[in-house]
Structure formats: C-alpha cells, structure tokens
Structure 1
Amino acid sequence: MSVEGKTAVITGSNSGIGLGVAKELARLGANVVLNSFTDTDEDHKLAEQIAMETGATARYIQADMSDPDACRALIEKAGQVDILVNNAGIQHVAAIPEFPVDKWNQIIAINLSSAFHTTAAALPVMRAAGWGRVVNIASAHGLTASPFKSAYVAAKHGVVGLTKVTALETAEEPITANAICPGYVLTPLVEAQIPDTMKKYDMDRDTVVRDVLLDRQPSKEFATVEQIGGTVAFLASDAAAQITGTTISVDGGWTAL
C-alpha cells in the first residue's frame, strides 16, 4: 500500500520541512492538508499550487498550534486523516536562568502539546478507517542536547516519548507511530541565516556551512526537505508496517557521535 489516495494532515506546513513533506506526499498521490497559524492568500495559494502541480487534492486550514482546541479542531475540519505529520515547531535560545517563561510555555505548547492534541483527535478517525500513520517530526535534539535550548530539547525529547506511548497504545492495530529526528535541514529559514553568520565570523559561505552550521553533523551536508518527505512516505508504506515506536535519524551521523 502506498500513500496514493490517503489523506495527510501536516502541521506547520506553509514553509520549511512541513511544506517539503506536503509536496512530497502530494507528488506520491496523497491528498494533503496544509496548516499554519496564519490565514493569508499566500497560504491558500500554496495549496492551490500543490494541487495544480501534482493532481492531488490540497487544502489549507488555519489553526494555532499553541491552542489545544484549535489543534483538535484542525483534525475535525480535515475530516479524514490517514497520515498525521506533527511538524509544527518554534525555537528560542537562552540560558536557563534567563529563559523567558512565555517562550518556554509557547515552545512546549507548539512543539510538544500540539502533537498530543492532534494525535488524540486523529486516533479515533484512524481506528474508524482501520488504518493510520502518525509521524512526529522530532529532532536530533530529541535524542541529544545542546546548551541554551532547554525548551526545545525538552519538547523534542517529549515528542519522542509521546511517540513511544502512541505506538504502544496502537500496537495491536494497523496504526503505527514513529518519530523522525532531523539534524540540520536546508530550509529557507536556515538559508537566510547564512549571510549574517558569514559576516559575524568573517568566513565564506562554504566555511560557515561546514564549520559553523554543520559543526555537529559529521556528513557536513544538510539534509533536504525532500529527504524528510521521503522518510515520511516510507513510514506510511507497507514496508514499514512493523516499524512503530522508534526514531529514524536523518542527521548525517550527528547522533552517532
């Protein structure tokens, strides 16, 4: 069984990894629901463009992933959800004593709690359909840590734990739950950071990428959004029917260190 004809809901998918996952699943024949907290013409045009390019059905549904009710309403509005990709996330960097409480709460809500709420709403739909896949986009920071990222690391470790519990609660059903743990992925957001980093360190682009951004990524290459999308598609395939409750690292060897 492929993803063709399945409906995938991808949170935080109007840019970056989420958009890359949506495009890849649509290319493979899945119908996709895009999401973010904004509700602009550009958001809806993204869905229209994906539909035009792939022939899949694509919709955009606004929902604020920091709001538990909005998370659950997203699933209700989607109607069908065969593949749930919990991708929404934000970041803030600060030492623990100076970490703003509002930022801590926001990161935990968007990066961790939203995955709980969407999963809680989606599992009854999957059970009614007799099939389902939950794919949580965690991070290398779901398996290891870095200083000054306390909320992000805590949330991503939590996502890995939530994934395991989801897998155990659905272990005797045709539903799986797994987490993908990317390292550095080349997204527009990361690309935009490179010029400033070049100026800060007085380095050329290649040196900044290799020695600063990819310092902890042994391959010294970014993962791509297409690779993350392909990994999601694999986890939704029959080949992965007995893969559940685990993590797949797409991190160029980061967590092998």
Structure 2
Amino acid sequence: MVTIPVRPSRALAQHLPSVRRATALVPAASRCRTAATVRYQWGRQTVSVPANPRTFSTSPSRPFKTDDVLQRTNTEFSPFSVEGKTAIVTGAGSGINYVFAKQLLERNCNVLLADLSLRPEAQALIYQYSARNGRTARAIFVKTDVVQWPDLDAVFTTADAEFGGAEIVCPGAGVYEPHWSNFWHPPGTARSHDSASPANGIGHYATLDINLTHPIRCTQLAISRWLNPPPTTAPRHMKATPANPKRIVHISSVAGQTPGFSTPLYQASKHAVSGLIRSLAPLDSLGIRVNGVAPGVIKTPLWTEHPEKLKMLDTNVDAWVEPEEVADAMVRCCEDEAVVGGWVLEVLKGTTRNVDWRNDPGPTGEGADASNRATTIAEVYQWLAEPGWGVPTKK
C-alpha cells in the first residue's frame, strides 16, 4: 500500500502521473479488498492506493482519477456475493435481462422477473426454479407494465412478501425506438402510439417512459426501501450500510456515448441513463452501489425480431455481442469490488471496459456499431419528404 498526499483543489492525476487504473478487469479474487480509500487529514486529502500491479498499471489509456475512489472515506466495505440474495429484474422475459436472471439463479440468487410477458425460455426458467425447499434459488414472475408506477410499486411489495425484500435491483426493460414511439413519427401521426392530445394534457413518449423514467423510478423505490426498511425485516434486508451493501445495475448502451440520427430518443435515453449512474456514485458511501453496463450490438430479440433494425447490420462485416457477455458484466457490477459506484462498463465482443466520463475515446471494438446505418438515415429523409410530416392525424 502506498500513501500519497495531494492538494484537494488540484486534479489527482497531476500528482499521480505514474499511477494508472488497469483497463482490463480481472477476477475479484486476485485483487486487494478495496480499490482505494480516501480520507482527510488536517485539510489535506490522502489517497491510499493498493500497490497491486493487477489492479493498477501505467497504461496511458486509463488515467487514474478522483472519481475512481469516490466516497471511499474511512470505510470498510463488506464483500458482496449474489449467492443467497434476491434480485428484481425488469424486462427479464427475454434478452439480456433474461440471461442475467438465469445467471443469478444459477448462482443461488432468487429472482423476481418483472415483464409484460415471458418468452418460452423464461417460462421454463420459472418452472425450473419454482421450488420452495430452501436449498435452491426461486424465480417468480410478476406481470408488469413498467410505465405504470403502481405496477412498479407492486413489484417491490411482492418481493417483500415472497422474499423479505431484494438486495439487487436491475431496471433493465427497454425498447429500441420502435416506430410506435419514435422521434421521426411524432405523436398523433399514423405510425405513432403516442398521443398528441392526451386526456390530462400531459404528453409522453413511450420510449422515454420505458427507457428513462422507469429506471429512475425503480432506483428511487429501491433506495427508499433500503434506507427505510420495515421493522420486521430479516437481518440481511436491514438498512443499507457499507457492511450490509445493496446493488442497482442499470442497462445503458454504446448509444449513450454516440449520436444517432435515426434513433434520437433512444440515444437521448441512454445518454441520460449513463448520466444517472454517474450522478449517483456517492451513494456508494451508504452501501448502495449504482453502476451499469453499456452493451454494443447484442444478439437479442430487440434486434433479431425487428426487420427495421436488422437492415442496419451487414452480417458479413458486423459482429454480434452475445448476451452472456453482458450478463457476465452485470454480475461483476454486483460482485467485483474493483467496479465501483458510478462506473459504466462498455461490453463489446470479447472486451469490457469502464467508460470514462471525461474525454473517453468512445466505442471502437467489434460489436460497437452497425455498418449499414446509412440505410435508416436515408429512410428518415424519405419520411421527412412526405407531405404533412409531423402533422397529427389522430389524437
């Protein structure tokens, strides 16, 4: 352990020119218990950095920053394992969230799958993990429309009733700017399901309600329960503290780092989710870790069952990222002590890295993009050329 005094008013990197955070994430078992600690001594900030070359390196691609040790103030953090815990996962009826739920169950973590419906593989998962013998994890399904806040409340109350609460929350449900809630098909136009004249006068874009408002609300509900647990709560569901930690895992996207002319609502929602994750990093000090993943082009029904999206891909050139790679990173968000609060793990084909919030080079590996996006851009211009574009034709 090396201890380096620095001035609080200067950037940490200026005083640690040779210290760099390792880009590669290695198994938690090979690391020191905590990545770093921050404490104050007589007005001077002292950063204690583990002298472990597998945790820190001199790679110029990943500067060590004050944000990496945010809120590590005189605190011992208990190791976190998903085993024996309970997770709430929205959107778990298919795709990344289904695979994440499956991996949690395989690690003996109960899972509440919250979705509008279940694909056959998710139904099979519920059946497989339906036992109440106390020796295996249990899975239950709660039909949930994530834009309905009473439904979200019901998810948490069901978790309380069935499992005594949840230690992991993943508000993973999302849509990829379908035509029925799309910037280029404004509310009230033929293809849109968004109303131009809602009964209460309050307008909504379903894409934003699902992709952004729902994860914000789930995060609030989780924090509220963890800071104000019922008096009859079992010990492991008591108030969140560094000794009794909890986890919130969000799903952003590489779209949260890039522009996207054909899907501006989706891009905006994922930029916002990444901003939410980073903004809530200080909750780590209360034992509530908020982080997430930013996948590339994932082989899930979000792509494979939507021809309007598939035409962006050239299967001879573009690489798929497998959902198992993303789920692996989500488990690491829960368990890996080097993945601190506020981190957004970009997941491409065969690579996972933290996305710096300042001056990040952006996604560049395999699975980062679809090479035929020009076809959807041309389609947008065709829509804009239609007579009366954007003029509502229905309520």
TM exceeds 0.5? yes
Question: 2:336 & 2:294 partners in 1: Cα distance?
Answer: 21
How far apart are 1:44 and its partner, in Å? 5.3
In structure 1, how many angstroms separate the alpha carbons of the residues matched to 2:119 and 2:94? 13
Cα distance in 2 between the residues matched to 1:233 and 1:150: 29
* Alignment map for 1:57-68 (pairs within 5 Å): 57-68=138-149
Structure 1 partner of 2:269 = 155
Say which SS state the counterpart of residue 17 (structure 1) adopts: helix
| Per-residue deviation, 1:208 | 3.4
The 3 A distance-change label for structure 1 pair 13 and 181 is: same
Deviation of the 1:41 alpha carbon: 9.6
| Equivalence for 1:88 | 173
Distance between the aligned counterparts of 1:238 and 1:246, measured in 2? Answer: 12
What is the letter of the counterpart of residue 126 of structure 2? A
Q: Which amino acid aligns with 2:101?
A: A
Q: 1 CA distance for matches of 2:363 and 2:218?
A: 28
Indicate whether 1:172 and 2:285 are aligned.
Answer: yes
For residue 188 of structure 1, report the CA deviation from its aligned partner. Answer: 3.9
Higher Rg: 2
Match 1:228 to one of 323, 326, 332 = 326
Residues 3-36 of structure 1: CA deviation (Å, up to 9, x unaligned): 1001111100111111011001111121111010
Which residue is equivalent to 2:363?
A: 255
- Would you identify which runs of 4 or more consecutive aligned residues in structure 1 move more than 4 Å? 39-45, 93-97
Q: Is the 8 A contact 1:81 1:125 kept in 2?
A: no
What SS does the corresponding residue of 1:35 show, helix, strand or coil?
strand
Query: In the alignment, is the contact (CA less than 8 A) between 1:25 and 1:229 conserved in 2?
Result: no
Give distance in 1, aligned partners of 2:92 and 2:226: 21
Residue 337 of structure 2 aligns with which residue?
A: 239
* Equivalent in the alignment of 1:139: 253
Q: Aligned AA for 1:142?
A: G
Q: Superposition pairs for residues 78-227 of structure 1, below 5 Å?
A: 78-79=159-160, 80-92=165-177, 96-100=183-187, 102=194, 105-127=205-227, 128-129=239-240, 130-168=244-282, 170-192=283-305, 208-211=314-317, 214=318, 220=319, 222-227=320-325
Count of paired positions: 239
Question: TM-score, normalised on structure 1?
Answer: 0.81
Q: Distance in 2 between matches of 1:176 and 1:45?
A: 31
What is the one-letter code of the residue matched to 2:315?
Answer: V
Q: Contact conserved, 2:98 with 2:122, CA < 8 A, in 1? A: no
Q: CA deviation at 1:229?
A: 1.5
1:5 alignment partner, SS class: coil
Residue deviations 1:118-147, cap 9 Å, x none? 111111333324321111011111121222
CA contact (8 A) 2:94 2:122 kept: no
Structure 1 230/42 Cα, relative in aligned 2: closer, same or farther at 3 Å? closer
The secondary structure found in structure 2 opposite 1:3 is coil
| CA displacement 1:185-211 (0-9 Å, x = unmatched) | 1124433457x96xx79xxxxx93243
Relative contact order (alpha carbons < 8 A, sep ≥ 6): 1 or 2 greater?
A: 1
Q: Percent identity?
A: 27
Moved more, 59-68 or 159-168: 159-168
Q: Is the 8 A contact 1:44 1:59 kept in 2?
A: no
- CA drift of 1:45 comes to 4.9
Deviation at 1:76, TM superposition (A): 2.1
Give the letter for the 2:214 counterpart. S
Aligned counterpart, 2:108 = 29
Amino acid at match of 2:332: F
Q: Which has the higher helix share?
A: 1
**CA shift digits 1:132-175 (9 cap, x unpaired):** 1111011111121222111111111111111122222x131121
- Does structure 1 conserve the Cα–Cα contact (< 8 Å) formed by 2:93 and 2:118? no
